[in-house]
Structure 1
Amino acid sequence: MRIGILQCGQSPAQLKDGLGDYPDMFLRLLDGRGFEFRIWHVEAMEFPADIHDADGWLLTGSRHGAYEDHAFIPPLEDFIRRAYDGAVPMVGICFGHQIIAQALGGKVEKFAGGWAVGAQDYDFDGRNVRLNAWHQDQVVTRPEGAVPAGRNAFCENAALIYDDRAFTVQAHPEFEDAFVQGLMDTRAKGVVPQDLLDRAAARMGEAKDTGLLADRIEAFFKAPRAAQTGRGAA
């Protein structure tokens, strides 16, 4: 199964050599699960020609806000709507979670409650799931048809499922602690309150449920679906 990674942002330059860029992290997360990957750097305006250039799409995180004025966002939203209409499955992580919701009629905003940084615990259908997070923006209004699949007191829409068409998660199953520490060192100063950084530092090393999320992403992509009609193709 070919998964197209739509790269919506980039790892800080200081971290790329040692820890990789965002697509590299997903290649590690989903290694050995029978996928082949191709990357399109949509942030740099590199888009697939057709929604069927891959069997499924994975949208990465980004430092950009989904609601900001960037050249790549309108064509990415259009691609998302066509993939959704064409029943090509999508997985969105952080920014990917937000831009899918926004493209399909939801609302994303800079959350008045502030930041989530480092290890966070979520309720996924009654199961506690611990993942690293790094975000201030949130999906505050779900699109029609989106059903919550994960939440906590800070983030009501921490994961959304759109029947068999999209599965999206606000947290970062692909982020290892070393990368979160790198973000704290390179992007947090003067941006993230120090008490949140201290709290994140104190939770470094706690076991994360990244394998569980990788299993769920794999199962979502591989779930049996009716034959795609191509009605949303470019």
Structure 2
Amino acid sequence: MEIKKRFGVLMCAEDSEYVKKVYGGYSGVFVRMLAEEGETWDVYKVARGEFPDEDDLGLYDGFVITGSCSDAHGNDTWVSDLLNLLRKLDSINTKILGICFGHQILGRALGGKVTRSTTGWDLGVRTITLSPSLRFALSSLDLPSRLSIIECHRDEIRELPAKAEVIAWSDKTGIEMFRYGDHIMGIQGHPEYSKDILLHLIDRLIQRNYIIDAFGKQARERAALWEPDREAWKKLCVTFLKGRL
């Protein structure tokens, strides 16, 4: 009998009513992108202090860490607990895929440095360059050298530990993606987002005074010009997480 694969989503954000209603929450967005038939997917709201039991960690084939409005360089209790969890998962070579805040907190857990970006917010659709080593490792996917992705962040990984490899960059952010061993990968952008979610987020950022109206208007206009390469990102993420990279 085939053993079912089991994955966990570490939810670091609070769902908006809109995303809950339309997409089944942010965890639903991830599960829709990554889940395949016969798999079990569990969701842990780590930002509320909900974590998997340490004794159960070995049952999982992989974890995905979501984005967040919190700072990956902050010292909230749940952030410290998440750092401890990620170090445990690293020690047992569990697959981990980190997205946006997830990418940054992974970098920090491994000994890197996360700070505010010196060039401010990145909000919209951006083209990033993939390293030849990543494209070689994913030669079966026949990826182009550049892919467009939705970005929504004001922090970035400034430094990575020596064992980590930068596998993508952009004209704004030096570490758009990294790999650590064969089991950890971080992506600064949002492969799971649709442009509808991006436009909704821009409105939320304006309402919460994270950005001013004029900046939000510019971000909306820029977002209308490009489409993110969502299918390519889906294949890349699934290939990594399911052990095919």
> TM-score w.r.t. structure 1 length?
0.89
2:210 aligned partner: 191
- 1:52 CA displacement: 1.5
Q: Cα deviations across residues 149-208 of structure 1 (Å, max 9, x unaligned)?
A: 111110100000112120110000111111111011122354335246414434326332
1:218 aligned partner: 238
Runs of 4 or more above 3 Å deviation: 31-35
Structure 2 residues without counterparts, runs of 5 or longer? 133-144
Query: Structure 2 residue aligned with 1:93, among 99, 108, 124?
Result: 99
1:232 aligned partner: none
| Equivalent pair of 2:125/2:222 in contact (CA under 8 Å) | no
Cα 1:34–1:148 change in 2 (3 A) is: farther
2:227 aligned partner: 207
Cα 1:35–1:212 change in 2 (3 A) is: farther
Q: Does 1:150 align with 2:140?
A: no
Bigger relative contact order (CA 8 A; separation at least 6): 1
SS in 2 for 1:187: helix
Instruction: Provide the rounded CA distance (Å) in 2 between the counterparts of 1:43 and 1:122.
Output: 29
Q: Cα deviations across residues 2-54 of structure 1 (Å, max 9, x unaligned)?
A: 11111111233344322442211101212446643111111111111132131
* Cα RMSD (Å): 2.0
Query: Structure 1 residue aligned with 2:184, among 159, 166, 187?
Result: 166
Structure 1 residues without counterparts, runs of 5 or longer? 226-234
Across the two proteins, how many residue pairs are aligned to each other?
225
Query: Structure 1 residue aligned with 2:125, among 115, 119, 125?
Result: 119
Which residues in structure 2 correspond to 1:18-167 (within 5 Å)? Answer: 18-32=22-36, 35-50=39-54, 51-125=57-131, 127-167=145-185
Instruction: Provide the rounded CA distance (Å) in 2 between the counterparts of 1:34 and 1:84.
Output: 25
Instruction: Provide the rounded CA distance (Å) in 2 between the counterparts of 1:204 and 1:11.
Output: 24
- 1:216 CA displacement: 1.5
Instruction: Provide the rounded CA distance (Å) in 1 between the counterparts of 2:13 and 2:215.
Output: 27
Identity of aligned residues (%): 24
Counterpart residue type for residue 152 of structure 2: W
SS in 2 for 1:52: helix
Cα 1:87–1:8 change in 2 (3 A) is: same
> TM-score w.r.t. structure 2 length?
0.85
SS in 1 for 2:70: coil
| Equivalent pair of 1:19/1:179 in contact (CA under 8 Å) | no
